[in-house]
Amino acid sequence: METNSTKRKDIFLVDPRNIVVVDGFNVRRDFDLDELKEQIKEKGVLNPITVIAYKDENGVERYKLVDGERRYRATMLAISEGADIPYVPALNAPKDASVKDLYIEQMMRNEGKRFTELECAIMFRRFKEEFGYSQVQIAETFKKSPAFISKCLALLDLPQYLQDKIASGELSAKAARELASNYADPHDQVRAAKTAVRTAKAAGRSTATNKEVQRSLKDAKQGKAIADALRNIAAYLDGEPTVEVDTLIKLLDKHGTLHAAMREYKKTITSKN
């Protein structure tokens, strides 16, 4: 049986200094360059980036970056540290490619560090707002489930503080969703997120996860329970200026209910007076 002839895409070499990054085109927020930079110093850029060639106002050929900004950033960082990298491999994006096609290229050709849920959400929102796609159409385009699309897009409804902490890697997306499901008020979400981030850092962890969030929720519930109990105690005392805490604790342990404990406590205080 006769086989099909091989089809080739030309890979060419470009000076990374001639690459231009278009602000806002890439949805990536967390580049995490150190390990990749060291790999590039040792072996160079192995996977081609994707570019669009054009001439600038001086007639010099430049290349708009379509895919591979993490590789490009790591390369430029390596160069700034003295590495000799005169060229990187590149593929030319199709000349007739639309912005939509280039967005898809960016997501589908991702090689290496996966896009986070928040980064995916930014791209999904572009297709929803710029091209009028439904969540089902977005799911079909990017080969994801509609549930995943919905889960990602919901992150963009969170307070900006939470989004910023997810983008910086200080708060996991799962932890952020847990906060949102337990606190309706955005201010409460932010306060709880700050507590979770502080708790994680104090324990030497860079990212606050559900573990820190659950601890924060537990502390908040305990705090509310204590506040409610103190209000009830104040009502029972009816203006009594001080409380003998040790005595009250023993009576609570003995009776098991605040009503019975406070009744005996008031008798004890009255007899002492």
Q: pLDDT tens, 55-96? A: 888 888 889 898 888 899 999 999 999 999 999 999 888 777
Burial environment of residue 183 by CB neighbours within 10 A (0 to 12, 13 to 18, 19 or more): middle
Select from 104, 136, 157 the last residue of a domain: 157
Based on the fold, state whether residues 179 and 136 are members of the same structural domain: no
Question: pTM of whole model > 0.85?
Answer: no
Based on the fold, state whether residues 135 and 224 are members of the same structural domain: no
The pLDDT of residue 217 is above 80: no
Element spanning 67, H or E: strand 61-67
Q: What's the CATH code of the domain at 203?
A: 1.10.8
The pLDDT of residue 36 is above 80: yes
pLDDT at 157: 95
Count of domains observed in the chain = 4
Please report which confidence band the pLDDT of residue 241 belongs to, taking 50, 70 and 90 as the band edges: low
pLDDT per position as a tens digit, 101-125? 888 888 877 656 788 999 999 999 9
Return the structure tokens found at 88: 């990187």
Select from 91, 126, 157 the last residue of a domain: 157
Q: Which residues of 85-106 are buried (b: 16+ CB within 10 A; e: fewer)?
A: beebbbbbbeeebeeeebbbbb
Based on the fold, state whether residues 151 and 167 are members of the same structural domain: no
Q: Is residue 80 part of a domain?
A: yes
Identity of the amino acid at 94:
P
Return the structure tokens found at 176: 């952020």
Q: Is residue 100 part of a domain?
A: yes
Distance, CA of 224 to CA of 227 (rounded, Å): 5
Q: Is residue 4 part of a domain?
A: no
Return the structure tokens found at 209: 């996860």
Q: Is residue 71 part of a domain?
A: yes
Based on the fold, state whether residues 91 and 187 are members of the same structural domain: no
Distance, CA of 17 to CA of 79 (rounded, Å): 10
Based on the fold, state whether residues 15 and 94 are members of the same structural domain: yes
What does the longest C-alpha to C-alpha distance in the chain come to? Answer: 109
pLDDT at 39: 92
Return the structure tokens found at 160: 């900006």
Based on the fold, state whether residues 74 and 125 are members of the same structural domain: no
Based on the fold, state whether residues 153 and 164 are members of the same structural domain: no
Q: What's the CATH code of the domain at 77?
A: 3.90.1530.30
Q: Parallel, antiparallel, or unpaired: how do β-strands 61-67 and 19-20 relate?
A: parallel
Please report which confidence band the pLDDT of residue 4 belongs to, taking 50, 70 and 90 as the band edges: low
The pLDDT of residue 225 is above 80: no
The pLDDT of residue 51 is above 80: yes
Q: Is residue 83 part of a domain?
A: yes
Please report which confidence band the pLDDT of residue 134 belongs to, taking 50, 70 and 90 as the band edges: very high
Please report which confidence band the pLDDT of residue 182 belongs to, taking 50, 70 and 90 as the band edges: confident
Based on the fold, state whether residues 230 and 253 are members of the same structural domain: no
**Mean pLDDT, range 45-55, rounded to an integer:** 88
- Which alpha helices (H) appear in the chain, and where do they start and end? 34-43, 69-80, 99-108, 117-130, 135-142, 146-154, 160-168, 173-182, 186-202, 210-237, 245-255, 258-272
Of 128-132, 227-231, 238-242, 263-267, the least confident: 238-242
pLDDT at 246: 79
Range of the domain at 131: 116-157
pLDDT at 1: 55
pLDDT at 42: 92
Based on the fold, state whether residues 94 and 151 are members of the same structural domain: no
pLDDT at 224: 63
Based on the fold, state whether residues 22 and 66 are members of the same structural domain: yes
Distance, CA of 145 to CA of 154 (rounded, Å): 15
Of 138-152, 211-225, 239-253, the least confident: 211-225
pLDDT at 272: 66
Q: Is residue 226 part of a domain?
A: yes
Distance, CA of 82 to CA of 161 (rounded, Å): 37
pLDDT at 60: 83
112 vs 140, higher pLDDT? 140
The pLDDT of residue 268 is above 80: no
Please report which confidence band the pLDDT of residue 8 belongs to, taking 50, 70 and 90 as the band edges: very low
Based on the fold, state whether residues 257 and 204 are members of the same structural domain: no
pLDDT at 112: 61
Q: Is residue 2 part of a domain?
A: no
Of 25-29, 126-130, 178-182, the least confident: 25-29
Based on the fold, state whether residues 20 and 89 are members of the same structural domain: yes
Q: Is residue 180 part of a domain?
A: yes
